[in-house]
Amino acid sequence: MHLVRTITLATAVALAVPVVVATGASASVRITELPSLPGFTSSSVVGVNDAGQIIGTSYPSGGVSHAALWTGGRVVDLGTGNGRAISRNGKAVLTDLVRINGPYEHALRVWDAGVTTDISPSSVGFIAAPAINGGGSIPVAYSSSPFGYHLERAAVYRDGALRGLSLPASGPHLSLRGINDGGQVIGSWQAMFGNDRFVFRCEKDGVCARLPHPTGGTGESASALNESGVVVGNGRNADGQLALRWDGNGVTALPGGVAGVASGDQAVNERGDIVGWVRAGGTQKAALWRDGALVDLSRPGDDQSTAIAVNDRGQVIGTRSGGGRTRPFLWQNGVFTDLPDLGGASATPIALNNTGTVIGSAQDAGGRYVAVSWSVRVW
């Protein structure tokens, strides 16, 4: 089923915060259920570029999933596996768990204009490839043998070859999070035993360095980076979770006390806006950190809320919960636009581009979860 609902909203919800001025606005919003591949029963989405191309996965009722690309009003089958990331010019990253018994076999592929290329490292088991930059470079973490499932090694696929990263520590718990167009890669490392955990940043030459712990903090993990090399993520101190920003070799705990940066690669934009949540009065509230100040994106009546992603226009998407329902929203310059749902108990946006497309999932009135996109115009 391909469901389209169009709703026009007149929005004038003011936000009383120190760094923005509330204004009236109108928004035209359309929600579209994204069709699964023919013969498949459900889909999920993970990324969208500024051309409106969406990457994700379609799932059968039984059998093997296929990566899917929604583009130009149609859905394209990219082959077995799962869609992981899409570049601004439409290159897609796919992973495919081919075998899970005996030696593991995980494939890594790149789809480009109808041509699929296998770029899997040799003699490895598990592979993770979370991102692709504008030049087609892909950060890759993988196990050291086909009999292991811990991610222990890292490389960048660039110019047709895998180029190893010189990590600041060896060990089994490696997570890569993103890559910018300058070739910088970020990730997190954790010891097999104990609490040693840190964030690292790698330069284009493959040399990586650990980023500092905040004062009194430990256990950091990376979320995202921007083109300036600013890294954001989370850590902990004696009071609870910290939202963190690394700039150069310095680290700053973002204001708000107990707080968290969103986990996706749009947790920070090119002007340095950061999104996530803060804990205030026992309630989790959606948060934006802009120019060093905390902007509260919660609204009266919310049981809880969180900000999920921010684009380079400063538009923020997130969710707010209350009355047994979870509802999506878009915030821009002090004005909220509630995104429509499909009549179910929840709808969750996960990413947005700079041209008015938001993607995510929604539950319909029958309880079925489907992949959706929202087309948003705010004026």
Question: What is the edge-to-edge ordering of all strands in the sheet holding 115-118?
Answer: 82-86, 92-99, 105-112, 115-118
Q: Does some domain include residue 141? A: yes
In tens, the pLDDT along 316-337 reads: 999 999 989 999 999 999 999 9
- Which amino acid is located at 172 in the chain? P
Say if residues 116 and 78 touch (Cβ distance below 8 Å): yes
Find the domain containing 86 and state its range.
Answer: 37-46+53-210
Q: Does some domain include residue 122? A: yes
In tens, the pLDDT along 272-321 reads: 999 999 999 899 999 999 999 999 999 999 999 999 999 999 999 999 99
CATH of the domain at 151: 2.130.10.120
Other C-beta atoms lying within 10 Å of the C-beta of residue 49: 23
Say if residues 130 and 158 touch (Cβ distance below 8 Å): no
Angle at 15 between CA 11 and CA 20, to 5 degrees: 110
Q: Is the pTM of this model over 0.85?
A: yes
With the C-alpha atoms ordered 42, 47, 51, 53, is the resulting torsion angle positive or negative? negative
Q: Does some domain include residue 317? A: no
Q: Does some domain include residue 318? A: no
Instruction: Quote the tokens at residue 370.
Output: 């489907």
Q: Does some domain include residue 62? A: yes
- Which amino acid is located at 128 in the chain? A
232-264 per-residue burial string, b: 16 or more CB within 10 A, e: under 16: bbbbbbeeebbbbbbeeeebebbebebbbbbbb
Q: By mean pLDDT, which of 162-166, 335-339, 370-374, 375-379 is the weakest?
A: 375-379
Local confidence band at 98 (pLDDT 50, 70, 90 cut-offs): confident
Count of the separate structural domains present in the chain: 1
